[in-house]
Amino acid sequence: MFRLATPIYVELLTAVVAVGLIDLLWVSGLGEDAIATVTIATTAETLAYGIFLAVPTGVTVLVGRRDGHAPLAPVVRTGRMLWAGLSVPITAAGLWLSGGEAYFLIAFAGWPVYFAQTVVDGVLKGRGDTRRPMRHALLCNALVVALDPLFIHGLGLGVEGAALATVLARAITLAASFPALRSPEASTEASTEPGAGPRTGPGTVAGARAGLLVGAVVRTGLPMSGDFLARALVGMVLVDLVAGFGTAELAGYGVGQKVMLAGVMAFYALRQATMIRTARGEHTGSPLLAGLATGAVVAAVLNVAAEPVAALFAADPGPAVGFLRWMTLYLVPFGGLIAVGGVLQATGRGGRLLAATLAGFAAQLPLAYALSAWLGVTGVWLSMAAGATLSLTAAVLPRTTRAGGPR
> pLDDT tens-digit profile of 118-162?
999 999 999 999 999 999 999 999 999 999 999 999 999 998 999
Task: Say yes or no to pLDDT of 64 above 80.
Answer: yes
Number of domains composing the chain: 2
Q: What is the DSSP letter of 71?
A: -
Pair (303, 184) in one structural domain: no
What pLDDT shows up at residue 325?
A: 94
DSSP structural state of residue 181: G
Q: Do residues 273 and 130 touch, judged by C-beta distance below 8 A? A: yes
Instruction: Bin 404: left if φ > 0, else alpha if -120 < ψ < 50, else beta.
Output: left
Q: Taken in order 22, 27, 28, 34, is the CA torsion positive or negative?
A: negative
pLDDT tier, 188 (very low <50, low <70, confident <90, very high otherwise):
very low
Q: Give residue 191's pLDDT.
A: 39
Last residue of one domain, picked from the residues 162, 192, 213: 213
Better-predicted residue by pLDDT, 312 or 279: 279
Residues 252 and 341 in one domain: yes
The residue among 169, 197, 213 that closes a domain is 213
Residues 203 and 140 in one domain: yes
Task: Say what the alpha-carbon torsion angle 165, 50, 323, 374 is, to the nearest 10 degrees.
Answer: 140
Cα–Cα nearest to 41, from 22, 57, 60, 19: 19
Domain hosting 299: range is 244-396
Q: Is the pLDDT of residue 194 over 50?
A: no
Mean of all residue pLDDT scores within the chain: 87
State the Cα–Cα distance between residues 52 and 57, nearest whole angstrom.
9
The reported pLDDT for the residue numbered 193 is 44
Which amino acid is present at 157? L
Among 173, 196, 213, residue at a domain's last position: 213
Output the CA torsion 297→299→304→310 (10° steps). 140
- Same domain, yes or no, for 74 and 12? yes
- CA–CA separation, 353 and 350 (whole Å): 5
